Amino acid sequence: MRVAIVIPARYASSRLPGKPLVEIVGKSLLRRVWDIARAVERVSGVWIATDDGRILDHARSFGANALLTPADAPTGTERARAALAQLPERPDAAINLQGDAVLTPPWVVQALVDAFHADPRLEMVTAAVRLTPAQADELARLKQRSPSSGTLVTMNLAGNALYFSKSMIPFRRDPADAGTPIHRHVGIYGYRADVLERFAKLTPGPLERAERLEQLRALEHGMKIRVVLVDYRGRTHGSVDTAADIDFVASVIAREGELVG
């Protein structure tokens, strides 16, 4: 099973232009994500897929494999698909590691790679963290102030996704029932190459349009998404969306140390 990691990196971020080139504690955001990907084992290659020559040049300056993909690719998924079409040897599957996922531990990415090696028939894979009762209550309080913060996922007994939502799911009829598992979704995906091609041709359904969650398109069209439970091992989850997030990530690194030596 040949599994590649593709890192989509777009220059024209509306909230933080040039985001992949922003420096955090002596390294660019893009270099940090590349280092995370390079720490993952049993992959056939790591590729940066960008729409901008400045990012391409920067990636190549530290020895990364980088590809120029169309500027009009609407999502990271589309950019990953465009990158696979250019690879000299097409992999069987690809992990889409977003270029701002600077606090994603390499062992989380490894879990998705390992899932494909364990079962090459999987169509898609993603990750989730089981919340403690205290964490679930904290997220519920956060959603009272910011309803779109955090995505939840429910699974069937085989570990395949039933639904993703910005709402707290499953609903607990008895608030005292702390034993019901609540899982927070981690926005990293793996696709078998042929499935990625099929996914790209699907039209968004009403659930995706309502929740603004791209992964619901796969479920609405009958595709299976295997959810792999992961443990952050005490590390803080987060990514970079705005300038304020840069200081947040820097503070996490100062407090918890580097993810990759």
146 pLDDT higher than 80:
yes
163, 154 Cβ separation under 8 angstroms: yes
| CATH architecture assignment, domain 121-230 | Alpha-Beta Complex (3.90)
Task: Provide the token pair at 234.
Answer: 């005490």
Q: What is the mean pLDDT of residues 121-139?
A: 94
Ramachandran bin of 252, using left for φ above 0, alpha for ψ from -120 to 50, beta for the remaining angles? alpha
Confidence of residue 15 (pLDDT cuts 50, 70, 90): confident
Mean confidence (pLDDT) of the chain: 93
Q: What residue spans in the chain does CATH classification 3.90.550.10 cover?
A: 1-102+244-261, 121-230
Q: Residue 261 has what pLDDT? A: 81
pLDDT tens-digit readout, 148-166: 999 999 999 999 999 999 9
**Residue 179: its pLDDT value, please?**
76
| pLDDT tens-digit series, residues 43-102 | 999 999 999 999 999 999 999 999 999 888 888 888 899 999 999 889 999 999 998 999
Q: How confident is the model at residue 203 (pLDDT cuts 50, 70, 90)?
A: very high
pLDDT of residue 74: 80
Counting other chains too, the contacts that 236-240 makes at CB distance below 8 Å and 24 or more residues apart are 236/103, 237/103, 237/104, 237/129, 237/186, 238/102, 238/103, 239/98, 239/100, 239/101, 239/102, 239/103, 239/104, 240/16, 240/19, 240/22, 240/24, 240/29, 240/100, 240/102
In angstroms, how far is the first alpha carbon of the chain from the final one?
28
Question: Domain 1-102+244-261, what fold?
Answer: Spore Coat Polysaccharide Biosynthesis Protein SpsA; Chain A (3.90.550)
Does pLDDT of 235 surpass 90?
yes
- In terms of C-beta distances under 8 Å and separation of at least 24 residues, what long-range contacts does 248-256 make, across chains too? 249/24, 249/102, 249/103, 250/24, 250/25, 252/103, 253/24, 253/25, 254/25
Residue 180 has what pLDDT?
Answer: 85
pLDDT of residue 259: 95
Q: What pLDDT is stored for residue 56 in this prediction? A: 95
User: Quick one: tokens of 162?
Assistant: 């039933």
